[in-house]
Amino acid sequence: MQSLNAPFPFRFFIASALACTLLAGFARAEVPEPQGFFMGPLHDDVPATLSGARVVHPQELASLLEQGNAVLIDAASFPRKPENLPPEAIWKPAPHENIPGSIWIPGIGEGDIDKNIEAYFRERLSALTGSAFDHPLVFYCHPHCRASWNAAKRAIGYGYSNVIWFPEGAEGWRDAGHSLAAAEPEMPSRPSH
């Protein structure tokens, strides 16, 4: 039984290993910072930098969090249920997990942010930082996720001067040996139209 299946997957894995090597090379070719925000799909390659922000990797983030006062903001989006999913299909998004102590506000990383969400985002930033514009703010979502880049850039635009971007995201944090915790999203109480 196994022998029949062996050649095809094997060939496939060689091909995909090759593709990975090639594409990893491409991925490292810089994605430039856009003028404004990333519009459109948010799951894609990200730039290495964000002007006006400090980029940190797991080790630096760990020591930053040890200092205790940084505000952690998860910009991951929320899964959208397709309206035409068959009634018998099971729709059951998995519990969202992020870095313990984070505030999760879906929608703050959209290229074209909803007005209600933006107002809520500004309000929350102000409350979380005690209106101190130099308070450290860390933004992240997933690997290859532009939502945190957009959200961090937005915060810089609002005047925050100590903005930190963590491109590896929740999965990168876990891969570095840290734990994640189940999280509930925060959103404006009045639904947007």
Partner 1 sequence: MKRFGWAVLAGAVLFGGPALAQDDEAARAARWSDLAKEIFGGKPLQSGDAKIALEAPERAFDAALVPVSISVQNPADVKSIYLVIDGNPAPVAAHVTFGPAGDPKSLKLRVRVDQYTNMHAVEETKDGALYETHRFVKASGGCSAPSGSYAAAALADIGQMKLRVLDGPQAVNAREVQLLIRHPNFNGMQRDPQTQGFTPARFLKSVDISLNGENLLHLDSDISLAADPAITFSVPAQGKGKLVVTARDSDNAVFEHSFDLGEGRS
Q: What region does 28 belong to: left with phi over 0, alpha with psi -120 to 50, or beta? A: alpha
Q: Report if residue 7 touches partner 1, rule: CB under 8 A.
A: yes
Strand order in the sheet with 71-74: 53-55, 163-165, 137-140, 71-74, 103-104
Closest CA to 126 of 155, 101, 98, 100: 155
CB of 164 to partner 1, least distance (A): 22
**What is the amino acid identity at position 49?**
T
Among 77, 116, 126, 161, binds partner 1 (CB under 8 A): 77
Q: Which of 35, 63, 68, 83 binds partner 1 (CB under 8 A)?
A: 83
Coil/strand/helix, residue 2: helix
- If one asks whether residue 87 binds partner 1 (CB under 8 A), the answer comes out as no
Mask for 123-162, x = binds partner 1 (CB under 8 A)? -------------------xxxx-----------------
Q: Using CB under 8 A as the criterion, what x/- string covers residues 21-50 for binding partner 1?
A: --x---------------xxxxxx------
Q: Rounded to a whole number, what is the distance in angstroms from the first to the last CA of the chain?
A: 56
**Amino acid residing at 121:** F
Is residue 19 part of the contact set for partner 1 (CB under 8 A)? yes
Quote the least distance from Cβ 173 to partner 1, whole Å.
11
- Contact window for partner 1 (CB under 8 A) among 83-91, 116-124, 131-139, 152-160: 83-91
Look up tokens 């959103």; give the residue: 187
Question: Which residues lie closer than 8 Å to 115 by C-beta, 6 or more apart?
Answer: 192
Q: Minimum distance from CB of 42 to partner 1 (Å)?
A: 7
Q: Which of 187, 144, 137 is nearest to 169 (CA)?
A: 144
Q: Which of 25, 91, 131, 184 binds partner 1 (CB under 8 A)?
A: 91
Interface positions with partner 1 (CB under 8 A): 1-5, 7-9, 12-13, 16, 19-20, 23, 39-44, 77, 79-86, 89-95, 97, 111-112, 142-145, 171, 174, 177-179, 182
